[in-house]
Every structure is written in C-alpha cells, then in structure tokens.
Amino acid sequence: MKFPFQTVAIIGKQKSPEVAEPMLRVGDFLSARGLRVVVDGLAAEHLQDHSFTALSLDEIARTVDLAIVIGGDGTMLNIARTLAPHGVPLVGVNQGRLGFLTDLTAENMETEIGAMLEGKFITEERLLLRAAVLREGNEIFSGLAFNEVVVHRSNISSMVEFEVRIDGEYLYNQRADGLIISTPTGSTAYAMSAGGPILHPGLDVLQLVPVCPHSLSNRPIVVRAGSEIELLMHRTGDICVRYDSHTNIDLQLHDKIIVTRFGKPVFLLHPLGHSYYHTLREKLLWNQTL
C-alpha cells in the first residue's frame, strides 16, 4: 500500500444516479487538497459538468493509490475482487442497507476521508477466496470471492450431491440444497442466514455451511484459511457454483471445485476508533432492548 496517497479513484454503484452528488462532492474535496482524482467510467455516466478523468476498473487498478467506493456492500464486493490483486486499499461510503463493509456515511465522509489523507486510519486485511472449476482434469473457469463460494441448486425439485475433501482428506458426502464456503467477511452474509457462526474478520479461517442438509448430523465446520477445499459433484442437474452472487458457472456430473485462499488480501481502511463489535451491534440491532 502506497502512502501518502496521490491518485485517488472514486467509484460509485453502477446504474444508480443517486451516487452522482456524493461522487462530485468527494471529488471536489480531494481536488481542493491537491490530489489527482479519477472516476469509474460507468458511474461517471451519471455525473454532469465534471473535469475528472474517467477510467475503467482495470485501468483504475493499475493507476491509483486509494479507491473510495460509494454504494453498498454489494458494490464493495465487486470492486474488491478487481482491485485487491493490485494492492489498492479501499474506503467504503455506505449508500446501501446494512453496510458491514462501507462504514462511512455521506454526511461525514469529507471529515473522515480528510483524516485518512493525514494518515489517521486503521488498516484491515481481509482474505479472498479463489475457486477453480475442473472438468475432466482441465480448469474451465476460476474466479475470486470476497464473501463466499456457493454450490447450489437452481431447480427446487432436486438436491445437490457431492463429496467434500479438506487438504486431500475425505470429510463427507453431502445431500443438500447446497454448500457455502465462506470467509470471515462473508460470515454475516449468506452463511449467517444458513445458520453459520459469525466470525471476526481478523480470524484466519474459513467455514463450510450446508444449506438445508438432508442429514441433521451435518453442521457448519470451521477450518484453517490455508486449507484446500475440494468438492466433487456426484449428482447434477440444474446446479451451479456462484461467486459472491456476481458470477455463476453451471456444473456437470464429476466436475470438481477447488477452493483455496487467494495470494493477496483486500485492504480496507477505517476511521480511527472503528470497532467491528460496534458494527455488529448497530447493523444486527443488538443495541435495541426488548
């Protein structure tokens, strides 16, 4: 991570005109402080009368020292997978609902970002997953996931049947609606809805959470983050593997999915005083009395 920051990207939620006003505000704020500002080319379509350079996400990944993401957690998930391999740190401004990953607000963003530009921030590393699909021994697709990799059925009339191995050792055969392989970041997403535990993002672990397993003895399991998780499909139909709800790959009988930790982390920057437990209390309404 390069500091002090000199070139900053502003990235907004796509197809959302409401990001225009905060994007222009923070862009003007950064320019007034002498920084070079670039904007995401797709979100720039909503901006009027601006002088910022518009770049693609791939160009941004190779160019900037910092990215400010305005949107919700879904926007941050998408951007993180593109920018993390290049080591670009991310700051999130929440315009969504929960905001586990985007902890600034449009009202306080200038104050908090100004402090970050002076070095007043907390750096947090979050792990990414890489999942490869192998068919007849050949890799036909690979992609990254920030929250989770999910194997699931699309047709409600059939179950998924698959074998699971951890670091080459047989774990179990499973019949279920699917299986979630989640990072600690994703533990408050689909995995939580499926009954998995909430994991602190600083933990170096992954969790496997069955979705509606046929056997009541199947329970979520937590493994070390360096594990190689292998799924072998024994029964297919209308079944796919999904990466953070953004990418879907249809699966066939005997396809193999290999899930490993990606070699580079996501860098998230938070204001001083940021607390994960405060975020949980606020977002999950634990601070409300019955």
The three-state DSSP-derived secondary structure of 173-241 is EEEECEEEEECCHHHHCHHHHCCCCCCCCCCCEEEEEEECCCCCCCCCEEEECCCCEEEEEEECCCEEE
List pLDDT tens digits, range 209-229. Answer: 999 998 878 899 999 999 999
Q: What is the pLDDT of residue 170?
A: 98
Q: 129-261 falls under which CATH superfamily?
A: Probable inorganic polyphosphate/atp-NAD kinase; domain 2 (2.60.200.30)
Q: 7-127+265-283 falls under which CATH superfamily?
A: Probable inorganic polyphosphate/atp-NAD kinase; domain 1 (3.40.50.10330)
Other CB atoms within 10 Å distance of the CB of residue 97:
9
Residues tagged active-site: 73
Q: What is the pLDDT of residue 97?
A: 72
Classify burial at 285, counting beta carbons within 10 Å of its beta carbon; exposed 0-12, middle 13-18, buried 19 or more. Answer: exposed
Q: What is the pLDDT of residue 47?
A: 81
pTM of the model: 0.93
| Residue of 12, 2, 17, 4 lying closest to 38 (CA atoms) | 12
| Token pair for 58 | 């791939």
Confidence tier at 132 by pLDDT (50, 70, 90): very high
The dihedrals phi and psi of 39, each to the nearest 5 degrees, come to: -125, 155
Higher-confidence position of 159 and 85: 85
Q: What is the pLDDT of residue 156?
A: 67
Q: What is the pLDDT of residue 290?
A: 59
Rounded CA-CA distance 59/128 in Å is 21
List pLDDT tens digits, range 151-180. Answer: 998 766 678 899 999 999 999 999 999 999
> To the nearest whole percent, how much of the chain has pLDDT over 90?
78
Contacts of 156 (CB under 8 A, 6+ apart): none
Enumerate the H helices of the chain as residue ranges. Answer: 20-32, 57-63, 73-83, 109-117, 190-193, 276-283
pLDDT, average across residues 120-147: 97
31 DSSP 8-state letter: H
Start-end of CATH 3.40.50.10330 domains in the chain: 7-127+265-283
Out of 14-18, 181-185, 194-198, pick the least confident. Answer: 14-18
